């Protein structure tokens, strides 16, 4: 047993459901007790989904506990098959079904004979994997299933497309800024003259999965979801993949160069020419992305050598660490991730870019680390935001888990060249309030606690005579309005409507 | 699917494929109510994920609740349950020093048959802090029933009332009552005097967790009828639980407390007052009247008081009259809310409800039936263990003006031009007593009004045609 107040990654079935409901016309049936369909609430609320989340539960209740599910699961599958005619139904085990040890595969086998939909059992173990690993695994399982099916049917067409093309793998529902990243990545590939073959799982149909092998290469923007699929496709079909996350100018360039390498391997034969993306990288870095210019500007010089702590999933924490350190000159005192299963990769990525590495899924440990380091800003998840609030340190949210405010309606990619701009803004805005706060403290705090008049404009209430106005103008400009306000307040408080030099000094003494 | 509107109260039972919250969510409001408690949910990551997401920001305020997360080793009992729970409880006592630790058993502890009830007394004796066990799991219960299981477990911890005659016992009662009112400002002499004043009625204990302000409002309503309350379950402090015995009368304030009621009657030999619930001015009046009648007191001035409340609601009533309502059902408050809304002049097509205890809710059901007759409105169908999919089909056909639903369905329904009100809000909003009737209506009117505001836009349906097979 473990005493837990908060966790970063959800249980395994959440990962499976994220993948299932990202596809179109795929329905997930959870083998779970009443109340475990909380995923539907999250998707409906956080993503503000207009459509019903295609997830239902085959309820495990007392009867199931004593007699087993018997026909219940099969009935629920066939019923859903008739009601919604999905292409695929994924039976999703939960922690409860893990211990019940019912033969879910048997239910799936029975149901797939009766129903028109394909039926599979998500191969995830609640006690072994978390949300992210399960999502990765489920996506691979679905892809493997449909490619296997196509191969058996002999409909699998392995010839690659005429023009360079790519699959984007790993965009999913409830992913951190996934929708925006997706748009940005699509644009990036289009700019490079690369056709998008498929994007999975978000918005795609399972029957199109057999077209995956037509792509020249696979593109996996996030480490957490999609890598297994890419590895499988490489092994099975020899499709190379790019898994450099295009976050920050340096890594975006690195990513594009890798893409170029893969394309040229085939282009020499297929197109009898090669591509050169260097001018594109150069042009984008210099003029489309503002990030490099920004880090040269005097604003950013103020940030140099400030301390920051970074925490999040492996992809975002590693990328942010590199961006802050390499592209903005900020000192990353500590970089950490809760993706314990990927710690070797993380260590290798952030090594050289931070003072220390923290691998943990205990938020208290992160909080203690932040408290000890006292950084000028934190970049983390929703939890770090709250840690920051308690310690009075500004925080930029850069990774899941997040709240509804991190599912913005406006365009906020983290990837690609527009992503570099968004990140620069986010970083800058996180540090600046910290500076402001510091200055405000230096000059005695905001005087907003006590409202003296209904409107912010005080001119109406109190008149300054010329002599006092002159005196006021002698006060250094950065403090002037603050002191004027205090004197106004003093006058109003004591019933003076006109301020002369005497009242002014009386007020200054009271300040 | 043809939908009939019945002339009598009909009960149906569907498949139970509906969305609701897991009963462990009761921790969210109970830990705030019982101020010196600590809730330990013994379960898995699934339970933890649910509570951290459903509790939203509360989680960051160092709540007095945590998960005892079962790991793979705990499942085949490789690890020793007793030793493990002791280790965690000692950790909790060291950090938080609670007066009581409440263990919430979950689906997993049920399935692996972890003997929480057996471990608790032994551990309690060893560590010296009471441990109350409540099995609030999704195998057996829905949403607010979680509170029911906790309160039922708490009733066993109430002290035994000494059935002696004379001053001493009375004194004990007075002290308890005073402590019960400890949330009031100390200079509120008025209340204290009346409380200390001699008690005419037999001891009355109310059960159900309400915000302190609401609990106070209800008890002062009873005080107007010169009825003294000798305690509540739960209390702000665990050590102030009221004493129980065979001369104690008990009355529930919420419709989902049937196990607590049963436990009070059977185990503690209390006498249950079966009344409609004090939700809406009609319900509040009926509730008070029923308590008065049991004590042989003639209720004073209630009719006038009820009328005054209705009069004050006139503006709101104008906006709900003639509207139609559909309850999908997820927190057994539905019957009482529907009854109040029918009195307000709405038509209720369907009352979905997770489960229906016809005995505990008898007075409320009877009241609902009479209300329908009075208002000349067809009786709603009551659907126990509803099937959300079927409900959606019925809803598309009926096109109700307002649907009470959980958050899983609210946005999709809105997108299809059907107004919704999240049912969860009614478990957190103050809805009991005369004064809070306005709150209920305010919550209901908001979506109706929003719709009026957007009337000029032809954007009621915001779903792509090819997108969803449900429509």
Q: What is the DSSP string of A63-78?
A: HHHHH--TTHHHHHHH
Set A51, A116, A123, A299: catalytic member:
A299
Minimal C-alpha gap between A404 and chain B (Å): 10
Q: For residues A26 and A88, is the Cβ–Cβ distance under 8 A? A: yes
* Residue to test with chain B: of A2, A34, A67, most B Cβ within 10 A: A34
Q: Per-residue pLDDT averaged across A254-263, rounded?
A: 96
* Candidate from A124-138, A475-489, B146-160, B309-323 with smallest mean pLDDT: A475-489
Q: Which residues of B touch A62 (CB under 8 A)?
A: 139-140
Which DSSP helix (H) or strand (E) runs through A309?
strand A307-312
pLDDT of residue B177: 46
d(Cα A175, Cα A188) in Å, to the nearest integer? 20
Q: Would the pLDDT of A63 be above 50? A: yes
User: Of the candidates A56, A83, A95, which has its C-beta nearest B108's C-beta?
Assistant: A95
Minimal C-alpha gap between B114 and chain A (Å): 13
Taking 3-state DSSP, the helix, strand and coil percentages for chain A, each rounded to the nearest 5, stand at: 55, 15, 30
Q: Per-residue pLDDT averaged across B306-330, rounded?
A: 94
B23–A35 CB contact, under 8 Å = yes
Other beta carbons within 10 angstroms of residue A433's beta carbon come to 11
A99–B22 CB contact, under 8 Å = no
Q: Which residues of A touch B17 (CB under 8 A)?
A: 56-57, 59, 76
Residue with tokens 């509170």: B147
Q: Which of residues 22-51 of B touch A (CB under 8 A)?
A: 22-25, 42, 44-46, 48-50
Phi, psi of B277 (to 5 degrees): -95, 145
CA A452 to chain centre: 43
Q: How confident is the model at residue B402 (pLDDT cuts 50, 70, 90)?
A: very high
SS3 state at A318: helix
B49–A7 CB contact, under 8 Å = yes
Q: For residues A118 and A145, is the Cβ–Cβ distance under 8 A? A: yes
Q: Would the pLDDT of A450 be above 50? A: no
Q: Which residues of A touch B393 (CB under 8 A)?
A: none
pLDDT of residue A234: 97
pLDDT of residue A464: 84
Q: How confident is the model at residue B60 (pLDDT cuts 50, 70, 90)?
A: low
Q: Establish whether this prediction's ipTM goes over 0.95.
A: no
Q: Would the pLDDT of A456 be above 80? A: no
A33–B79 CB contact, under 8 Å = no
Q: Which residues of A touch B392 (CB under 8 A)?
A: 52
Q: For residues A201 and A139, is the Cβ–Cβ distance under 8 A? A: yes
Q: Would the pLDDT of A429 be above 80? A: yes
Q: For residues A447 and A489, is the Cβ–Cβ distance under 8 A? A: yes
Return the residue of B nearest to A401 by Cα: B53
User: Of the candidates A38, A45, A49, which has its C-beta nearest B50's C-beta?
Assistant: A38
For residue A287, the 8-state DSSP code is: I
SS3 state at A324: helix
Q: How confident is the model at residue B95 (pLDDT cuts 50, 70, 90)?
A: confident
Q: Which residues of B touch A94 (CB under 8 A)?
A: 46
pLDDT of residue B287: 97
Q: Are strands A307-312 and A377-380 parallel, antiparallel or unpaired?
A: parallel
pLDDT > 70 fraction of chain A, expressed in percent and rounded? 93
Minimal C-alpha gap between A308 and chain B (Å): 22
Q: Are strands B402-405 and A498-499 parallel, antiparallel or unpaired?
A: unpaired
Q: Per-residue pLDDT averaged across B288-312, rounded?
A: 94
Q: Which residues of B touch A25 (CB under 8 A)?
A: 469
User: Of the candidates B46, B140, B462, which has its C-beta nearest A95's C-beta?
Assistant: B46
Q: For residues A195 and A216, is the Cβ–Cβ distance under 8 A? A: no
Cα distances (Å, whole numbers) of residue A141 to A98, A178, A192, A227, B406:
19, 21, 31, 12, 32
Q: Which of residues 88-127 of A touch B (CB under 8 A)?
A: 94-96, 99-100, 126-127
End-to-end CA distance of chain B: 14
pLDDT of residue B59: 61
Q: Per-residue pLDDT averaged across A463-482, rounded?
A: 77
B450-454 contacts: CB < 8 A, separation 24 or more? B450/B419, B451/B419
* Candidate from A93-97, B93-97, B184-188, B361-365 with smallest mean pLDDT: B184-188
Minimal C-alpha gap between B292 and chain A (Å): 39
Other beta carbons within 10 angstroms of residue A444's beta carbon come to 12
pLDDT of residue A478: 60
Most confident of A413-417, A446-450, B16-20: A413-417
pLDDT of residue B194: 43
Phi-psi region of B321 (alpha: psi -120 to 50; beta: other; left: phi over 0): beta
* Residue to test with chain B: of A30, A45, A52, most B Cβ within 10 A: A52
Q: Per-residue pLDDT averaged across B113-127, rounded?
A: 93
Return the residue of A nearest to B75 by Cα: A99
Minimal C-alpha gap between B43 and chain A (Å): 9
pLDDT of residue A510: 73
SS3 state at A140: helix
User: Of the candidates A3, A57, A128, which has its C-beta nearest B66's C-beta?
Assistant: A3
pLDDT of residue A137: 97
Q: Which residues of B263-287 are buried (b: 16+ CB within 10 A; e: fewer)?
A: bbeeebebebbbbbbbbbbbbbbbb
Cα distances (Å, whole numbers) of residue A312 to A13, A457, B66:
21, 44, 22
User: Of the candidates A38, A49, A127, which has its C-beta nearest B72's C-beta?
Assistant: A127
pLDDT of residue A488: 82
A67 touches chain B (CB under 8 A): no
Q: Would the pLDDT of B1 be above 50? A: no
> What tokens appear for B63 in the block?
């709540």
For residue A30, the 8-state DSSP code is: E
pLDDT of residue B167: 40
Find, among A2, A48, A120, A282, the residue nearest to B67 by Cα: A2
Q: Which residues of B touch A48 (CB under 8 A)?
A: 411
pLDDT tens-digit map of B66-94: 999 988 888 776 668 889 899 999 999 99
Q: For residues A308 and A375, is the Cβ–Cβ distance under 8 A? A: yes
pLDDT of residue B433: 95
How much is the mean pLDDT over chain B?
Answer: 86
Q: Which residues of B touch A117 (CB under 8 A)?
A: none
pLDDT of residue A442: 63
Q: Which residues of A touch B21 (CB under 8 A)?
A: 35, 38
A272-276 contacts: CB < 8 A, separation 24 or more? A275/A164, A275/A192, A275/A193
Phi, psi of B429 (to 5 degrees): -75, 160
pLDDT of residue A439: 65
Minimal C-alpha gap between B202 and chain A (Å): 40
Q: How confident is the model at residue A215 (pLDDT cuts 50, 70, 90)?
A: very high
A1–B48 CB contact, under 8 Å = no
The residue ranking higher by pLDDT, A493 or B225, is B225
Q: For residues B26 and B39, is the Cβ–Cβ distance under 8 A? A: no
A38–B63 CB contact, under 8 Å = no
pLDDT > 70 fraction of chain B, expressed in percent and rounded? 85
How much is the mean pLDDT over chain A?
Answer: 90
Report pTM: 0.87
Q: Which residues of A touch B355 (CB under 8 A)?
A: none
Q: How confident is the model at residue B341 (pLDDT cuts 50, 70, 90)?
A: very high
Q: Are strands B65-69 and A2-4 parallel, antiparallel or unpaired?
A: antiparallel
Per the document, the length of chain A is: 511
User: Of the candidates A6, A41, A59, which has its C-beta nearest B17's C-beta?
Assistant: A59
Q: For residues A355 and A330, is the Cβ–Cβ distance under 8 A? A: no
Q: Are strands A26-32 and A88-93 parallel, antiparallel or unpaired?
A: parallel
Q: Which residues contact A124 (CB under 8 A, 6 or more apart)?
A: A12, A13, A15, A16, A93, A133, A134, A137, A138
Q: Are strands A88-93 and A217-219 parallel, antiparallel or unpaired?
A: unpaired
Residue with tokens 């319900």: B283
Q: Per-residue pLDDT averaged across A364-392, rounded?
A: 91
A126–B45 CB contact, under 8 Å = yes
Q: Would the pLDDT of A222 be above 90? A: yes
Q: Which of residues 466-495 of A touch B (CB under 8 A)?
A: none
* Residue to test with chain B: of A6, A35, A77, A99, most B Cβ within 10 A: A35
E-assigned strands of B118-224? 131-135, 204-207
Q: Per-residue pLDDT averaged across B89-101, rounded?
A: 92
Q: How confident is the model at residue B453 (pLDDT cuts 50, 70, 90)?
A: low
Q: Would the pLDDT of A140 be above 60? A: yes
In the sheet with A356-359, reading across from the earlier edge strand, the strands are: A356-359, A331-337, A307-312, A377-380, A395-397
B13 touches chain A (CB under 8 A): no
Q: Would the pLDDT of A484 be above 90? A: no
A59 touches chain B (CB under 8 A): yes
Q: Would the pLDDT of B249 be above 60? A: yes
A51–B50 CB contact, under 8 Å = no
pLDDT tens-digit map of B435-445: 999 999 999 98
pLDDT of residue B61: 60
Q: Which of residues 299-358 of A touch B (CB under 8 A)?
A: none
B16 touches chain A (CB under 8 A): yes
pLDDT tens-digit map of A320-360: 999 999 999 999 999 999 999 999 999 999 999 999 999 99
> What tokens appear for B242 in the block?
């009221």
Q: Per-residue pLDDT averaged across B202-215, rounded?
A: 94
B408 touches chain A (CB under 8 A): yes
Q: Are strands A118-121 and A88-93 parallel, antiparallel or unpaired?
A: parallel
pLDDT of residue A360: 96
A95–B45 CB contact, under 8 Å = yes
A51–B415 CB contact, under 8 Å = yes
Whether residue A425 lies in the annotated active site: no
Q: Would the pLDDT of B283 be above 60? A: yes
* Residue to test with chain A: of B50, B352, B459, B467, most A Cβ within 10 A: B50
pLDDT of residue B182: 45
Q: How confident is the model at residue B173 (pLDDT cuts 50, 70, 90)?
A: very low
Q: Would the pLDDT of A73 be above 60? A: yes
């Amino acid at each position: 047993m473990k005493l837990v107040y908060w966790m970063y990654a959800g249980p395994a079935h959440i990962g499976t459901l994220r993948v299932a409901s990202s596809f179109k016309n795929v329905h997930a049936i959870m083998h779970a007790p009443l109340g475990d369909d909380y995923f539907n609430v999250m998707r409906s609320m956080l993503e503000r989904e207009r459509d019903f989340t295609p997830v239902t539960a085959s309820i495990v209740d007392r009867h199931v506990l004593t007699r087993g599910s018997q026909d219940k699961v099969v009935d629920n599958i066939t019923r859903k098959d008739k009601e919604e005619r999905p292409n695929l139904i994924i039976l999703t085990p939960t922690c409860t079904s893990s211990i019940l040890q019912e033969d879910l595969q048997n239910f799936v086998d029975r149901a797939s004979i009766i129903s028109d939909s394909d039926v599979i059992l998500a191969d995830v173990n609640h006690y072994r994997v978390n949300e992210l690993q399960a999502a990765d695994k489920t996506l691979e399982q679905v892809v493997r299933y449909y490619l296997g099916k196509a191969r058996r049917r002999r409909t699998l067409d392995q010839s690659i497309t005429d023009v360079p093309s790519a699959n984007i793998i790993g965009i999913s529902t409830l992913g951190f800024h996934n929708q925006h990243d997706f748009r940005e990545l699509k644009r990036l590939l289009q700019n490079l003259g690369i056709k998008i073959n498929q994007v999975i799982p978000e918005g795609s149909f399972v029957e199109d999965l057999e077209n995956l092998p037509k792509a020249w290469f696979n593109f996996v923007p996030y480490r957490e979801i999609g890598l297994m699929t890419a590895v499988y496709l490489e092994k099975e079909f020899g499709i190379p993949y790019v898994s450099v996350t295009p976050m920050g100018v340096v890594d975006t360039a690195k990513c594009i160069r890798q893409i170029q390498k893969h394309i040229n391997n085939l282009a020499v034969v297929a197109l009898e020419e090669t591509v050169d993306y260097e001018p594109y990288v150069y042009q984008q870095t210099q003029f489309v992305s503002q990030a490099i210019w920004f880090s040269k500007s005097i604003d950013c010089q103020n940030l140099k050598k400030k301390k920051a702590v970074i925490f999040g999933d492996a992809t975002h924490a590693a990328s942010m660490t590199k961006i802050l350190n390499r592209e903005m000159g900020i000192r990353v005192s500590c970089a950490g991730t809760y993706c314990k299963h990927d710690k070797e990769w993380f260590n290798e990525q952030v090594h050289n870019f931070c003072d220390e590495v923290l691998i943990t899924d205990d938020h208290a440990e992160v909080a203690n680390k932040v408290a000890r380091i006292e950084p000028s800003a934190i970049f983390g998840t929703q939890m770090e935001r709250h840690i920051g609030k308690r310690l009075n340190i500004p925080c930029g949210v850069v990774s899941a888990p997040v709240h509804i405010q991190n599912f913005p309606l406006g365009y906020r990619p983290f990837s690609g060249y527009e992503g570099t701009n968004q990140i620069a803004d986010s970083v800058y805005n996180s540090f600046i309030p910290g500076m402001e706060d510091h200055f405000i403290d230096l000059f005695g705090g905001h005087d907003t606690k006590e409202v003296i008049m209904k409107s912010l404009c005080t001119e109406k209430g109190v008149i300054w005579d010329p002599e006092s106005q002159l005196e006021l103008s002698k006060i250094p400009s950065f403090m002037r309005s603050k002191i004027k306000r205090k004197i106004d307040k003093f006058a109003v408080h004591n019933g003076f409507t006109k301020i002369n030099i005497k009242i002014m000094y009386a007020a200054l003494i009271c300040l | 699917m043809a939908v009939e509107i019945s002339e009598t109260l009909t009960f149906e039972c569907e498949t139970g494929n509906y969305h609701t919250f897991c009963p462990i969510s009761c921790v969210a409001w109970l830990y705030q109510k019982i101020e010196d408690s600590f809730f330990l949910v013994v379960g898995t990551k699934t339970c933890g994920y649910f509570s951290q997401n459903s509790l939203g920001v509360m989680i960051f305020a160092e709540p007095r609740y945590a998960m005892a997360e079962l790991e793979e080793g705990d499942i085949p009992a490789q690890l020793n349950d007793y030793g493990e729970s002791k280790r965690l409880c000692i950790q909790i006592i060291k950090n938080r020093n609670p007066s009581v630790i409440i263990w919430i058993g979950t689906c997993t502890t049920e399935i692996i048959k972890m003997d929480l009830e057996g471990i608790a007394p032994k551990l309690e004796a060893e560590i010296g802090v009471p441990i109350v066990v409540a099995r609030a799991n999704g195998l057996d219960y829905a949403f607010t029933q979680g509170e029911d299981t906790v309160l039922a477990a708490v009733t066993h911890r109430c002290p035994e009332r000494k059935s002696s005659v004379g001053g001493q016992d009375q004194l004990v009662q007075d002290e308890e009552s005073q402590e019960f009112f400890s949330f009031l400002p100390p200079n509120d002499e008025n209340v204290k005097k009346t409380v200390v004043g001699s008690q005419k009625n037999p001891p009355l204990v109310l059960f159900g967790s309400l915000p302190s302000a609401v609990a106070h409002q209800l008890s002062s309503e009873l005080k107007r009828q010169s009825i003294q309350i000798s305690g509540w379950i739960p209390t702000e402090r665990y050590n102030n639980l009221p004493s129980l015995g065979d001369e104690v009368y008990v009355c529930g304030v919420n419709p989902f407390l049937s196990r607590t009621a049963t436990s009070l009657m059977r185990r503690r030999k209390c006498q249950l007052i079966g009344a409609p619930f004090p939700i809406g001015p009609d319900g509040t009046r009926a509730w008070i009247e029923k308590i008065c009648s049991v004590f042989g007191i003639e209720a004073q001035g209630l009719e006038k008081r009820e009328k005054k409340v209705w009069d004050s609601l006139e503006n709101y009533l104008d906006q709900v009259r003639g509207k139609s309502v559909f309850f999908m059902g997820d927190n057994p408050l539905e019957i009482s809310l529907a009854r109040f809304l029918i009195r307000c002049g709405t038509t209720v097509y369907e009352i979905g409800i997770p489960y229906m205890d016809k005995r505990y809710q008898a007075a409320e059901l009877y009241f609902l039936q009479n209300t329908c007759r009075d208002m000349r409105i067809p009786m709603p169908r009551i659907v126990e263990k509803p099937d959300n999919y079927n409900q959606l089909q019925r809803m598309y056909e009926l096109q109700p003006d307002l649907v009470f639903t959980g958050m899983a369905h609210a946005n999709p329904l809105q997108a299809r031009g059907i107004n919704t009100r999240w049912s969860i809000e009614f478990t957190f909003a103050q809805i009991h007593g005369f004064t809070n009737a306005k709150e209920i209506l305010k919550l209901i009117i908001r979506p109706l009004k929003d719709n009026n505001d957007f009337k000029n836009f032809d954007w009621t349906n915001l779903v792509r045609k090819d997108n969803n097979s449900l429509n």
